[in-house]
Amino acid sequence: MPEVTFFGAAQEVTGSCHRISHPGLGHILLDCGMHQGGDAVSRLQEEHFEFSPRDIDAVVLSHAHLDHSGMLPKMIHQGFTGPIYCTKATAELLSVLLNDAAGLYLRDLEKENLRRRRQGKRRLSPVYSMKDVEQVLKQCVGLDYETEASLSDNTRLVFHDAGHILGSAITELSFLEPGEQKPKTLVFSGDLGNTDMVLMRDPSFLRHADVLMMESTYGDREHKTQGDTLSELEQILADTWQRGGNVMIPAFAVGRTQEILFHLGCLHQQGRLDNWQIFLDSPMAIEVTQIYDHWVDWLDTKDTQFLDMSHPHPLEEFLPHLFLAVTPEDSMAINSVKKGCIVIAGSGMCTGGRIRHHFKQRIWNPHNTLLFVGFQARGTLGRILVDGAKFIRLFGEQYAVKARIETLGGFSAHAGQSGLVNWASAFTPTPKLILVHGEPGAQKALAQRLERETGQRPLIPAQKECFHF
């Protein structure tokens, strides 16, 4: 009988990692994500696998975000040699995300070791290297949507479009046990997209599963409609323009940045955007935006029809007031713009990246606006700010938080409660339900509604809990 063990994203949002095991099937890992929040050096030093990476036969990756993929180099470093199955677009995005994360980690580790040497402490060894990142990419097996792949003689894999970010996938795994005539099917939603998103297609609806593992990030709330959210965005921008301020938008390099650029481009094309200077201050987001251009056929045609596909970078052509800040000097030059600029920079939860440098320059000014457009996990600087912190520490100094803090939940790349329930309700008969990738309050609310509408009480597993199916 197969079993699934939950090693991450169990009663928490980040660190997605679930192992499926069976004596006749081996060990398959669904995602291999890192936890977000805190210092990357100490976090990677302290995070340990609750299994031997050498014993894992294959990894099946739902998408490229680091909370689903970021521990892959450490897995390789500790002896994992099997295939990493993902969509072709995810494989291309991984090259950008993992190389960027490794570069930041190794630079921070070098600084930490310099500090430790001055204090007479033991030097820390890296938990992985750039060679491990290269090996991750070599072990990737890129697949198209709706294409069956054989993981073994009795295990089949199909990816379906999850509508979350480019290349994101709903994972369908079928296991035929020895002596059985009918396979058992496990479906893992990964991160399920919001049907009201731009650029992305709606998530695929599946009809059959014996076990359904589903994310629950927004299981306790609904998102505002896209129209209401755009009106709110337009008003926030207009108010900040009138105050003579600037807007800072922390955004993930994959998905959220491209969506925000598209919305700003629509406002510009409609003559509803003031004469803002818009800075994309993220080399990774710039590279990812170019990858989106490459995979435009995987995006929603009702939105991409507005882009000039004859242009080498249609998203940038759509928004001519966009400036790309690639070098550190480009980023620092933004400081000289005293008003009228929108700065989009990583990281999305403010755990690192260039956005923190912009906070240093602008978060103490009441004319400015800090605009959150995505989920902020517990323990991150973004969550601290959303929760109303009056002071924060940056680079060893304290800063007063006087900029206006705004949140636009309607831009979420995750389905809200009704979207999750509608998607799960399409399965007939109702499979065994397991909620992962959510905080306890959100999971409890979603479980209660799912029980009312399907008649089945979902399992909410704890860390290292096992479930047999």
pLDDT at 410: 77
* Closest by Cα among 397, 396, 374, 394 to 386: 374
Please state which of the ranges 50-54, 268-272, 381-385, 403-407 shows the lowest mean pLDDT.
268-272
pLDDT digits (tens, 9 = 90+) for 139-186: 999 999 999 999 988 899 999 999 999 999 999 999 887 777 888 999
pLDDT at 450: 97
E-strand ranges in 291-345 read 322-324, 341-345
Q: Positive or negative CA dihedral for 144, 145, 148, 154? A: positive
Please state which of the ranges 13-27, 223-237, 313-327, 377-391 shows the lowest mean pLDDT.
313-327
Q: Which CATH number fits domain 226-411: 3.40.50.10890, 1.10.1040.10, 3.30.43.10, 3.20.20.220?
A: 3.40.50.10890
Query: Would the pLDDT of 203 be above 90?
Result: yes
Please state which of the ranges 224-228, 379-383, 415-419, 442-446 shows the lowest mean pLDDT.
224-228
Q: Positive or negative CA dihedral for 323, 326, 330, 334? A: positive
| Mean of pLDDT values over 223-237 | 89
Percent of the chain with pLDDT over 70: 97
What's phi and psi for 152, nearest 5 deg?
Answer: -160, -175
Answer yes or no: are the C-beta atoms of 71 and 32 closer than 8 Å.
yes
**Distance between CA atoms of 185 and 172, rounded to whole angstroms?**
7
Higher pLDDT, 376 or 85: 85
pLDDT at 224: 82
pLDDT at 406: 95
For residue 335, the 8-state DSSP code is G
Please state which of the ranges 34-38, 331-335, 394-398 shows the lowest mean pLDDT.
34-38
Backbone torsion region of residue 327, taken as left when φ is above 0, otherwise alpha when ψ lies between -120 and 50, otherwise beta: beta
pLDDT at 197: 82
Answer yes or no: are the C-beta atoms of 96 and 288 closer than 8 Å.
yes
| Mean of pLDDT values over 400-416 | 90
Tokens representing 278?
């818009």
Average pLDDT, the chain: 91
CATH superfamily of 3-221+413-468: Ribonuclease Z/Hydroxyacylglutathione hydrolase-like (3.60.15.10)
pLDDT at 152: 87
pLDDT digits (tens, 9 = 90+) for 345-378: 988 889 888 999 999 999 999 999 999 988 888 8
Query: Would the pLDDT of 207 be above 80?
Result: yes
Listed by start position, the domains of the chain span 3-221+413-468, 226-411
* Closest by Cα among 58, 71, 57 to 8: 71
Sequence-distant (6+) residues with CB within 8 A of 151 are 28, 57, 58, 60, 85, 157, 173
pLDDT at 312: 53
| Mean of pLDDT values over 111-126 | 94
